Amino acid sequence: MLNAQIFYVGFLVNTIFFIGDLGGDTTSTWQRLLNGKNLSGWSTSGNWKVKENQVLSIKPRVGEHGWQRYADYLWTDKQYSNFALRLEYKIPIKGNSGVFLGVKNKTNPVYEGIEIQILDSYGKKEPLTAHDAGGIIGIAPPRKNMARPAGKWNQLEIICLKDHLVVDLNGEKIIDLDLTEKTGRSHPLTGFIGLQDHGVPLEFRNIEIKSF
């Protein structure tokens, strides 16, 4: 836990400088997006549970396979814009999930939102793609493979300010891009935040958000 605390302090310092450079408000404070007790403030039809140790888990039920079950994703009830999001996740061998941002239509998030990939890509030697841990699906691969081994906690931090997106995984900035320049169209990161149920079990904890 000490390493996570040190990591978060470093992320906070970097966030303040980044947001200040882009003209954002650096005076807001971190708020828990998951209260550690129940799913208040979120909605889903999936088998998401908050355990006694304040860990959020998803254990798909029998017959729940694949990623095209959007109602089974875990969605915030509110929409967010101009924010930093930080969380920890732990996945099994061959684990797969994602964090969705800027989703306005929960029935079509893969095509209308932005997905940051969560994947068991530890130790991969081949060139990284947008489908590796920390990549932006359909847009950009991570600069570096920072995924930890399956069964270990990973720290993921995301900054969304207007069309600008920064992703930090386990202490390394792996994405830093202007989505409008990258995609050739306006890509405001305003909308619901979601966690993907890909049909495999995984866990999250310490989910917090800071608005600018």
Q: Please answer whether residues 31 and 19 qualify as being in contact, where contact means their C-beta atoms are separated by less than 8 angstroms.
A: no
Which residues share a beta bridge with 101? 114
Q: Please answer whether residues 182 and 190 qualify as being in contact, where contact means their C-beta atoms are separated by less than 8 angstroms.
A: no
Smallest Cα–Cα separation from 198: which of 85, 83, 104, 120?
120
pLDDT in tens, 79-105: 999 999 999 999 999 999 999 999 999
CA–CA gap between residue 23 and residue 38 (Å, rounded): 35
In the predicted model, what is the mean pLDDT of residues 175-185?
A: 87
Q: Please answer whether residues 202 and 57 qualify as being in contact, where contact means their C-beta atoms are separated by less than 8 angstroms.
A: yes
Strands (E), the chain: 31-32, 42-43, 48-50, 56-58, 74-80, 83-90, 96-103, 114-119, 154-161, 164-169, 172-178, 191-195, 202-211
Q: Please answer whether residues 133 and 123 qualify as being in contact, where contact means their C-beta atoms are separated by less than 8 angstroms.
A: no
CA–CA gap between residue 51 and residue 17 (Å, rounded): 36
pLDDT in tens, 20-78: 555 555 567 999 999 999 999 999 999 999 998 899 999 988 888 888 889 999 999 99
Classify 65 as helix, strand or coil.
coil
Q: Which of 1-10, 125-134, 138-147 has the lowest mean pLDDT?
A: 1-10
pTM higher than 0.75, yes or no?
yes
pLDDT in tens, 114-138: 999 999 999 999 999 999 999 999 9
- pLDDT above 50 for 13: no
Q: Please answer whether residues 75 and 109 qualify as being in contact, where contact means their C-beta atoms are separated by less than 8 angstroms.
A: no
CA–CA gap between residue 157 and residue 169 (Å, rounded): 6
